[in-house]
Amino acid sequence: MAHPFLERLKQGPILCDGAMGTMLYSHGISFEECFEALNLTNPELVSSIHRAYIEAGAEMIETNTYGANRLKLEPFGLADKVRQINHKALRIARDVREICGRPTLIAGAVGPLGVLLEPYGTFTLTEAEAIFAEQIGVLLEQGVDLLILETFGDLQEINAAINAAQRIGDLPIVAQMTFAEDGRTPMGNTPEEVVRSLMRRGVAVVGVNCSVGAQRVYRVLAEMREAAPEARLSALPNAGWPTERNNRVFYPSTPEYMATYARRFIEELGVNIVGGCCGTTPQHIAAMRTALDALDHRQDRPSTRIEIREHEPQVELAARPIAEPTLLAQKLEAGEFVISVEIDPPKGHNPQKCIEGARMLKEAGVQFINVADSPMARVRMSALAMCYLIQEYTGLETILHFTTRDRSLMGLQSDLLGAHAMNVRNILALKGDPPSLANYPGTTGVFDVDTIGLIRVIAGMNQGQDTAGNPIGSPTNFLIGTALNINADDPDWEIERLHKKVEAGAHFAMTQIAYDVDAWLAFRKRMGQPPIPIILGILPLQSYRQAEFLRNEVPGISPTDEALERMRRAGPDGRREGVKMAQELLQAARETVDGVYIMPSFGRYEISAEVLSVLA
């Protein structure tokens, strides 16, 4: 499956964010400070700027990593913090995206090293590539969507960064250079030389950023367009020439002026990405958003908001055909192989990214979406609400993870009745991660009943009564799922408990994440013929460090020694190796399970589709 950034480029212009450095400066951070260190020391400030840009309408944000390479960090005594700073920057950006809930692309920002390369300086091309590779490797393994190389003045140096990026991964690259008033780069390269050279390198987009202001950027891009009509271009100019007043730096270009040029870039030059560099603010981006939304050819671009459909009043709600078995129940009964992908609800109240992800997965052939219930005991949108919205706006049936952690016995039954009324009727009965896993001191779980108790509660409702024996009207028709830990230290205990869950009323089981088909087959042989259909869990690994983290810090998920070794050998190419391992496992286990659910890391739903492509 094509990369989501490349797919998005086909649909129309993308609005990027504006300045990070000058926004930090406007909040009182001195230009003498290390802006990238704020990822560690003041993440809330960095987060607030990302959020302001997304709320202004940006569809792509850049990580606060422009100078997060070893050479730029060394004067601040932070040369040994390359990994921590880049890792934290990406985590901040991902968290903001989740909170905002919009399908925002995250671009890993990489700037120049700040030294001259040979033959003008003493720094070699090999040394430069190694430093770029160190930074880019962290961004890649942490799940960045694309790389944006920006403000490069030396064609040789940007090629060193491209060499590093292409050697260690397959991320799309936006390669941007800065131009002086004479229309050349600081090292004397013309726009024609730049665009033709970078196009030969196979980058996704060639562009201009910084470069004084919008008018000069327009001139440079016009030359690029004439030299390479087929090129995809980007324009991220400064908000004019900076001036100093009362010891403060100001940029003169108004939001309206920048918005006018954003529109001109697109209409007159066919630019694919617009945004801003130094001096641009969320107000500039909001003005650009308005200008872009007014363009006729943006009608084919995916909406930035969920379309709310009008509904005719349902006078006879009781007549709705909700008592039929769910589609999942029908497929399992018929022996069909079922396919689901797990989606975590957003950390905020905007479900758009999740719904767009579900739509994309539906187009890729996914049949069901299973929705986690505040995994790792961290606050997220209600899983029940998320299930309802996915079903309402995509037509996909959902599997609700439903835990006893947060609800009393009365609350469990109330929420289940509500779920049934909303036609959310595939229920995975779980205990839930304990609140001690999260950062909420003093918070305790409810746990009035355990998992088997919850299954009995749901089964009782399917018989038409609550736990006190009171009738609830027509019986419910839930399909009841349960968890199966195939990685259990005591498999016999786990198998015995599965049979107790079946006796209580469970209809199907979803396993913990599997990484070794031999381990699964050994567990299945020990179990004998499964008493209920089994859906196998697969989590495609992204990097060796992620595999290490899962094995040592996440209960119930344990990549094997072989998986760890394969990811270690893969190095920065871990994403591709992780997909390959997941595909091998899926193909090897397919005949022994009744379905599969994929758990994508970092919200990369297209990776799930890539894994599932082997079933086509």
The CA distance from 210 to 237, in Å, is: 5
- 3-class DSSP state for residue 21? helix
Q: Span 287-293, mean pLDDT?
A: 95
Which helix (DSSP H) or strand (DSSP E) does residue 350 occupy?
none
Mean pLDDT of the chain: 89
User: pLDDT: is 302 or 243 the higher one?
Assistant: 243
- Kindly tell me if the per-residue pLDDT of 431 is higher than 70: yes
**Residue whose token pair is 């299954």:** 455
Give the per-residue pLDDT at 249: 65
Query: How far is the CA of 393 from the CAs of 253, 302, 306, 359, 388, in angstroms?
Result: 41, 14, 8, 8, 9
Give the per-residue pLDDT at 432: 75
Give tens-digit pLDDT for 88-113.
999 999 999 988 888 899 999 999 99
The band of 244, judged by pLDDT with boundaries at 50, 70 and 90, is low
Question: For the CA atoms of the chain, what is the radius of gyration?
Answer: 27
User: pLDDT: is 236 or 181 the higher one?
Assistant: 236
- Kindly tell me if the per-residue pLDDT of 374 is higher than 90: no
- Kindly tell me if the per-residue pLDDT of 209 is higher than 60: yes
Among 34-38, 108-112, 160-164, 377-381, which is the least confidently predicted range?
377-381
Give the per-residue pLDDT at 99: 85
Give the per-residue pLDDT at 321: 45
Q: Span 22-50, mean pLDDT?
A: 94
Between CA 423 and CA 485, with CA 388 as vertex, the angle to 5 degrees is 85
Give the per-residue pLDDT at 434: 62
Give the per-residue pLDDT at 552: 79
Give the per-residue pLDDT at 443: 47
- 3-class DSSP state for residue 430? strand
Q: Span 421-440, mean pLDDT?
A: 77
Task: Name the CA dihedral angle for 511, 517, 519, 521, rounded to a multiple of 10 degrees.
Answer: 80
Tokens encoding 266: 């697109």
Give the per-residue pLDDT at 87: 95
Q: Span 359-380, mean pLDDT?
A: 85
Residue type for position 341 = V
Going along the chain from its start, the domains and CATH numbers come out as 13-293 (3.20.20.330), 331-615 (3.20.20.220)
Tokens encoding 398: 């959902």
The CA distance from 614 to 616, in Å, is: 5
The CA distance from 288 to 462, in Å, is: 54
The CA distance from 259 to 254, in Å, is: 9
- DSSP assignment of 245-297: ETTEEE----HHHHHHHHHHHHHHH--SEE---TT--HHHHHHHHHHHHT-GG
Beta bridge partner(s), residue 426: 479
Q: Span 404-422, mean pLDDT?
A: 89
CA proximity to 221, closest of 238, 231, 58: 231
Interstrand relation of 273-274 and 338-343 (parallel, antiparallel or unpaired): unpaired
Give the per-residue pLDDT at 243: 66
Give tens-digit pLDDT for 444-479.
555 678 899 999 999 999 999 998 888 888 899 999
Q: Please, are residues 342 and 370 in contact by the beta-carbon 8 Å criterion?
A: yes
Which helix (DSSP H) or strand (DSSP E) does residue 497 occupy?
helix 491-504
Q: Please, are residues 206 and 194 in contact by the beta-carbon 8 Å criterion?
A: yes
Give the per-residue pLDDT at 380: 85
Q: Which are the contacts of 152, defined by CB distance < 8 A and separation ≥ 6?
A: 111, 112, 158, 161, 175, 176, 177, 178, 185
Give the per-residue pLDDT at 438: 47
pTM of the model: 0.75
Tokens encoding 526: 């020990």
- Kindly tell me if the per-residue pLDDT of 520 is higher than 60: yes
- Kindly tell me if the per-residue pLDDT of 314 is higher than 60: no
CA proximity to 368, closest of 346, 323, 347, 337: 337
Q: Please, are residues 287 and 253 in contact by the beta-carbon 8 Å criterion?
A: no
Q: Please, are residues 348 and 380 in contact by the beta-carbon 8 Å criterion?
A: no
The band of 252, judged by pLDDT with boundaries at 50, 70 and 90, is confident
- Kindly tell me if the per-residue pLDDT of 430 is higher than 50: yes
Q: Span 14-30, mean pLDDT?
A: 94
Give the per-residue pLDDT at 471: 86
